[in-house]
Chains A and B, each alone.
Chain A
């Protein structure tokens, strides 16, 4: 292995961490450097993540021992197909969204650029740290780095933002503390903090009540963090009032990373046979998820604000991921993995369009968006692709993850879940077509038919925003077309043995 291959596992975290401290240093003299440093750092992480995924797929899992201390005493970074895949999602999407953030940040947060990008990179560090580490306490530390920077970033948003951020702080702290308690209970019985080591030590202790309580604390804490219904209370306000660049970054990545660690705890720290079957958590989780899917879609239908509508749609999409895990079969799990990827792309694309609309028109009310396709044809085209994918129309990516979820539900012989997924697709169609109809409608209702409508001038958003939007929209279609490759090339290796 080359040096870069050996050390990519740590560089992926160290580069953004150190760069975030470099931003105030350079930004003190040159204000514009924050954006460039953030972009370069996340770009470097993206390169590392691609190298890592390639190495994992060709040479098997990577173990990186920090400071040369052997596990289970030292902290270990483990990259296997699942988190190699997550790392590429977080870095790649993070890069595109950062690219798009420049103009939006300048418009919405004038004079705060330097501080914004410092915290922004810390948030990225936290997320990528959660993904690469193989140590449960290290996850807690990165979880708090990510959460603290997310609190701060949300709080600098518009009018309702501080209150939304405060509610998020309270809920997020409860979630993180429950996670910490879970670690404590596991440490009492095993004396270990290493995920793989815990996975080996725990099976002989499964009859112990302490392990059961630890599992409960882990799952509830992480369910709060990932915004799983009915613990999603903080999510809609936080996404709505955060600055557009922040909601475009947090919405696709933060809850997905929490969903990843949720899956990691269930499948690596605990054996799937215990966490899904011995205790009926799989059943409970999938029923809760089914309610979340329907609830999120109905709430999204009731919203007038575009960002709030997308936030409620996130609640419902998290339900899909949880449903796939709860089904406890191979197809369901593959659907959940694929949906993490697809939903990250779709929500990234849709929230970037929302940011672009905010940038150009300052409006978020979906009923004020008349004729917007004349002004911003490419942006709205990307929105339509994202919306079609959310509804699940082939060949967009969203269709295939729903397909696998439906296959999983059929395999579990549960027809309620099949109908829930289909019903939610219809609801998705309803609330997205409401937006599309308003945006593409020619005449606003006040005009009579004969009256000439003035043609609005075409004014697309700046290139730095438009290119990521178009790339994400193209990505949605490409992911749909090549989903078979992703499944057979990466995700099948991430399914734990014993899943049928």
Chain B
């Protein structure tokens, strides 16, 4: 059992991180905490993709003398996909932060409960 957990530890970390982020997004009442939860959530997915590209004993995906088998190279494609996902992550955070700025200017607070109280 322990061996099973340890041998796939990167995937367990991804699941734990994702749930932490998910909890923060759903459970926290402060909007900045929600945003940070969203970031953790996205980072967890990046970790997942990085994990699926890695091979034990694999080398850089650049042609090297003596390494002829494709199986000896790590798979670069999931890592490249994550470059896009990182860009998306950064720009979502940027948009969300500027929206938070708008919210703060209007309501002078970032606590969801207080905002909802002042709206009613």
B74 interface residue per 8 A CB criterion: no
A467 interface residue per 8 A CB criterion: no
**In the complex, number of A-B residue pairs with CB atoms less than 8 Å apart:** 69
Determine if A166 and B100 form an interchain contact, defined as CB atoms under 8 angstroms apart: yes
B13 interface residue per 8 A CB criterion: no
B-chain residues with CB within 8 Å of residue A137 when the two chains form the complex: 81, 84
B73 interface residue per 8 A CB criterion: no
Determine if A155 and B49 form an interchain contact, defined as CB atoms under 8 angstroms apart: no
Contact of B103 among A144, A152, A166 (CB under 8 A): A166
B88 interface residue per 8 A CB criterion: yes
Distance, CA A148 to CA B97, complexed state (A)? 12
| Chain A proximity of B51: nearest CB distance (Å) | 10
A71 interface residue per 8 A CB criterion: no
A173-B78 contact given A163-B115, A166-B103, CB 8 Å threshold: no
Determine if A166 and B96 form an interchain contact, defined as CB atoms under 8 angstroms apart: yes
A-chain residues with CB within 8 Å of residue B102 when the two chains form the complex: 155, 162
A180 interface residue per 8 A CB criterion: yes
Determine if B52 and A163 form an interchain contact, defined as CB atoms under 8 angstroms apart: no
A-chain residues with CB within 8 Å of residue B54 when the two chains form the complex: none
The tally of residues in B whose CB lies under 8 Å from a CB in A reads: 29
Determine if A177 and B41 form an interchain contact, defined as CB atoms under 8 angstroms apart: yes
A169-B99 contact given A162-B106, A184-B49, A187-B52, CB 8 Å threshold: yes
B-chain residues with CB within 8 Å of residue A148 when the two chains form the complex: 88, 91-92, 95
The tally of residues in A whose CB lies under 8 Å from a CB in B reads: 25
B79 interface residue per 8 A CB criterion: no
Distance, CA A403 to CA B106, complexed state (A)? 48
Can you name the residue of chain A whose Cβ is closest to the Cβ of B78? A187
Determine if B48 and A166 form an interchain contact, defined as CB atoms under 8 angstroms apart: no
Per-position binary interface string of chain B over residues 74-117, scored 1 when its CB falls under 8 Å from any chain A CB and 0 otherwise: 00011001001100100110011011101100100000000100
A174 interface residue per 8 A CB criterion: yes
Determine if A170 and B34 form an interchain contact, defined as CB atoms under 8 angstroms apart: yes
Per-position binary interface string of chain A over residues 133-155, scored 1 when its CB falls under 8 Å from any chain B CB and 0 otherwise: 00001001100100010011001
Determine if A173 and B92 form an interchain contact, defined as CB atoms under 8 angstroms apart: yes
10 A-B interface contacts by CB (under 8 A): A148-B92, A151-B99, A155-B95, A162-B106, A163-B115, A166-B31, A166-B103, A184-B49, A187-B77, A187-B78
Interface residues of B (CB under 8 A from A): 22, 25, 31, 34, 38, 41-42, 45, 48-49, 52, 77-78, 81, 84-85, 88, 91-92, 95-96, 98-100, 102-103, 106, 115, 119
Known: A159-B106, A162-B103, A170-B34. 13 other contacts (CB 8 A): A148-B88, A151-B96, A152-B95, A155-B98, A162-B106, A166-B96, A169-B92, A173-B38, A173-B92, A177-B42, A180-B45, A181-B45, A184-B48
